[in-house]
């Protein structure tokens, strides 16, 4: 198959997402009092209502309605005061009652949007970006210095109940194909679930990945879900079609079902774009179907021909009255909105002088954002106005070292780790004042976590203090230059890359304790004289 870059010259992908999030921070299910608990023994949290037994009547979960309104307000949606639930009928054993209670044409949240900041390598997939100058717009994007901002519409966020969990025994990779039998666990059936549907405004797999990441940040910030993709409380269906570049008519779409990681979402859409392009260029036909992304084989597989809305025989739920949300209710929910990630990033830029890039990456994870703020508070208490100089190195520490450590240790809790805000401030101060080099700073960072010790104590115990005495360093520089006259001649003849050789020799003589900045300055002065 052709690569994406080549395909985009001829074809334009059109991508829309359906993102499902379980409201895991609630205590009970959507229409009954059964407990929400991941990992409980199978079928221990069920009742006549979530099993659909005759005569059982649903009672709506008010807290779930508050949660979806909160999600709508956080994503710039209009909140519909009048809406209702429907029965979505389907014959599959993961719902004992053979229908799912969901919303119809009018959902609680309609007509929203999110703006995506796409920069660096992430922006490379967008076709035609190079033709725009910063500030210029085309389609739904506006060019920036580092990439672009994409405006992505949200069609709706509707409320429904999750289905039970099927476990297929004897098949390949736990799938129904080839299974000897299947088991069903109804603990999850009836779990409050919200589904966000985007407009078909996404044009690259990277934009789709970034949209889902941003939505996850928002849901975590407002506290409606744990958004665990590993446990299935956040999952995504991706719809993708191709059309000839320059045309407006949509092509036939396929749906990639239940993408359970950001990488799988990106890679599955990327493969499907390339597959569809190959089929179309060979004169084939794209069928509307649901496909499964196999990350092991790195390809999509047909699951079933896509159902239409008529197949579900939607009709109003007779056991639930229509909803009439009052202005007072909506405003009471609005009052609960916390600071959202975009607002936090803007505040970090204004208060601490961070770049848009650093601020945005800081707020990707609540833990790093909270840690950075705690560090700045500690620094301001100790240093006053001088703390402003530490904002950038503290942000770098949180984005790179802290995030890297958390990714490598997924069970770690930053607040309970040996790396306290005070120790982080100590560490960046030691690097900033030249006591240790940035390379040594990474060694001290690891030692703080491993030994549960203060950075200053680690530096003293290991004798890591840098030599910054200009006279002592100059003597070493002179000796290195005197011992390598041939390299000096080559450098002055144009091979300026040899500066690394000279720095290395000086550091070797000083057992790694020489201040590299001073060494570089002295070498440059003497070699370029």
* Chain segment 279-301, per-residue pLDDT in tens: 999 999 999 999 999 998 999 99
Tokens of 381: 């208490």
- pLDDT number for residue 172: 64
Asked whether residue 413 falls in the same domain as residue 283, the answer is: no
pLDDT in tens, 169-185: 886 666 777 788 889 99
Residue 336 lies in a domain: no
The residue among 412, 429, 461 that closes a domain is 461
CB 239 within 8 A of CB 259: no
Residues 273 and 358 grouped into a single domain: no
Same domain, residue pair 246 and 358: no
pLDDT at 467 over 80: no
Residue 516's domain comprises 470-528
Looking at 363-372, 466-475, 486-495, which range is the least confident one? 466-475
One domain for residues 83 and 108: yes
Same domain, 480 and 450: no
Q: Does 170 fall in a domain?
A: yes
Percent of the chain with pLDDT over 90: 71
- Asked if residues 183 and 141 have their Cβ atoms less than 8 Å apart, the reply is no
CB 26 within 8 A of CB 192: yes
pLDDT at 493: 83
Q: How confident is the model at residue 404 (pLDDT cuts 50, 70, 90)?
A: very high
Identify the pLDDT of residue 215: 97
Domain presence at residue 92: yes
pLDDT one-digit tens code per residue, 337-373: 999 999 999 999 999 999 988 999 999 888 999 999 9
Judgement on whether residues 308 and 361 belong to the same structural domain of the protein:
no
Looking at 431, 461, 491, the residue that finishes a domain is: 461
Per-residue pLDDT at 308: 59
- Regarding whether 129 and 226 lie in a shared domain, the answer is yes
Q: How confident is the model at residue 74 (pLDDT cuts 50, 70, 90)?
A: very high
Average pLDDT rounded to a whole number, residues 261-278: 96
Q: How many domains does the chain have?
A: 3
- Answer with the one of 461, 492, 513 that is the final residue of a domain: 461
Taking each helix axis from N to C end, the angle separating 470-483 and 499-509, rounded to the nearest 10 degrees, works out to 120
Q: What is the pLDDT of residue 266?
A: 96
Residue 247 lies in a domain: yes
Alpha-carbon distance of 66 to 337, in angstroms, equals 11
Residues 475 and 424 grouped into a single domain: no
Does residue 303 form part of some domain?
A: yes
8 Å CB contact between 179 and 106: no
The mean of the pLDDT values for the chain is 92
Taking only the tens place, the pLDDT of each residue in 178-208 is: 788 889 999 999 999 999 999 999 999 999 9
User: Could you tell me if residue 321 is inside a domain?
Assistant: no
Q: Is the pLDDT at 150 greater than 90, yes or no?
A: yes
Is residue 372 a part of any domain in this protein?
Answer: yes
Residue 309 has pLDDT above 70, yes or no: no
Residue 391 and residue 297 share a domain: no
Which CATH number belongs to the domain containing residue 521 in this structure? 1.10.10.410
Within this chain, do residues 445 and 523 fall inside the same structural domain, yes or no? Answer: no
Would you say residue 335 lies in a domain?
A: no
Same domain membership, residue 60 and residue 34? yes
Q: What angle do CA 45, 49, 53 make, to 5 degrees?
A: 110
pLDDT at position 171, please?
Answer: 66
Per-residue pLDDT, 278: 96
Q: What is the pLDDT of residue 499?
A: 87
Same domain, 398 and 507: no
User: Which pLDDT band holds residue 529 (cuts at 50, 70, 90)?
Assistant: low
């Amino acid at each position: 198959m052709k690569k994406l870059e080549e395909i985009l010259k001829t074809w334009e992908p059109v991508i829309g997402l359906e993102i499902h999030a379980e409201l895991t921070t609630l205590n009970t299910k959507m229409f009954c009092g059964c407990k929400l608990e991941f990992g409980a023994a199978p079928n221990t949290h069920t009742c006549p209502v979530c099993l659909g037994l005759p005569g059982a009547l649903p009672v709506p979960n008010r807290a779930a309605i508050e949660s979806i309104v909160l999600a709508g307000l956080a994503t710039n949606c209009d909140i519909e005061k009048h809406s209702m639930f429907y029965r979505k009928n389907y014959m599959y054993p993961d719902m004992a009652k053979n229908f799912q209670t969901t919303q119809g044409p009018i959902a609680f949240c309609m007509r929203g949007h999110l703006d995506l900041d796409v920069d660096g390598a992430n922006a490379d997939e967008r076709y035609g970006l190079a033709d725009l100058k910063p500030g210029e717009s085309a389609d739904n994007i506006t060019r920036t210095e580092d990439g672009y901002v994409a405006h992505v519409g949200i069609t709706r966020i509707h409320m429904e109940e999750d289905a039970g969990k099927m476990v297929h025994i004897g098949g390949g990779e736990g799938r129904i194909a080839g299974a000897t039998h299947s088991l069903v666990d109804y603990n999850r059936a009836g779990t409050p679930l919200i589904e966000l549907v985007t407009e078909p405004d996404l044009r690259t797999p990277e934009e789709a990945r970034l949209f889902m990441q941003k939505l996850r940040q928002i849901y975590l910030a407002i506290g409606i879900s744990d958004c665990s993709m590993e446990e299935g409380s956040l999952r995504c269906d991706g719809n993708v079609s191709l059309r000839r570049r320059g045309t407006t008519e949509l092509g036939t779409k396929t749906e990639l079902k239940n993408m359970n990681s950001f990488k799988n979402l990106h890679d599955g859409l990327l493969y499907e774009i390339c597959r569809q392009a190959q089929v179309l260029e060979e004169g084939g036909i794209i069928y509307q179907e649901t496909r499964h992304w196999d990350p092991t084989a790195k390809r999509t597989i047909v699951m079933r021909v896509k159902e239409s809305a008529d197949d579900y025989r939607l009709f109003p739920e007779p056991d639930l009255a229509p909803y009439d949300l009052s202005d007072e209710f909506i405003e009471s929910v609005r009052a609960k909105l916390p600071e959202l990630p975009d607002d936090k990033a803007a505040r970090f830029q204004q208060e601490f002088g961070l770049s848009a890039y650093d601020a945005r990456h800081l707020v990707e994870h609540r833990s790093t954002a909270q840690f950075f703020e705690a560090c700045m508070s500690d620094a301001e208490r100790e240093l006053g106005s001088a703390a402003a100089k530490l904002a950038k190195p503290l942000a770098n520490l949180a984005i790179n070292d802290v995030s890297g450590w958390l990714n490598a240790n997924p069970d770690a809790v930053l607040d309970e780790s040996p790396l306290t805000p005070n120790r982080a401030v100590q560490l960046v101060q030691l690097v900033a004042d030249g006591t240790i080099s940035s390379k040594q700073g990474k060694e001290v960072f690891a030692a703080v976590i491993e030994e549960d010790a203060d950075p200053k104590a680690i530096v003293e115990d290991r004798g890591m203090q840098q030599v910054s005495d200009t006279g002592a360093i100059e003597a070493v520089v002179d000796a290195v230059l005197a011992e390598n006259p041939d390299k000096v001649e080559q450098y002055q003849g144009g091979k300026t890359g040899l500066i690394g050789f000279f720095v290395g020799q000086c550091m070797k003589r000083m057992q790694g304790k020489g201040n590299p900045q001073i060494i570089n300055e002295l070498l440059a002065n003497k070699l370029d004289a």
